[in-house]
Amino acid sequence: MRNVLPEAVAHRLKFGFKSFGKKMKGYLTNDAQILGVESRTSSPVRIPRDKESLEHPEIKGLFPCGEGAGYAGGIASAAIDGERCAERIFDLYIRK
């Protein structure tokens, strides 16, 4: 990741991996790979949806949900939001 990250970030990651590797044996080995980075920021994008139906107000059948749509801030809240949308889809189209 040294080739794509600023030096200060790469240096801190290297220090953090070594430090964590001392606490958790087997975590850091010569075979370890870093595939990418994930930020802890939220997207400023929010796809509109109706508060009741959870459906996009103009595109019927589209249920924006989770982090990518701007309705969650992490994996747990994205799962909960996805579940809410799935339940609403079931109520609208299957349960009737």
Tens of pLDDT along the chain (96 residues)?
778 778 888 898 888 888 988 998 888 888 877 776 655 555 677 899 999 999 999 998 899 998 878 888 888 998 999 999 999 999 988 886
User: Is this prediction's pTM over 0.75?
Assistant: no
Contact 61, 55 (CB under 8 A): yes
CB-facing half-sphere around the CA of 70: CA atoms within 13 A: 8
Q: Are 72 and 78 in contact (CB under 8 A)?
A: yes
Give pLDDT, residue 43: 60
CB 17 within 8 A of CB 2: no
**Helices and strands in the chain: count of H runs, count of E runs:** 2, 0
pLDDT at 94 (0 to 100): 86
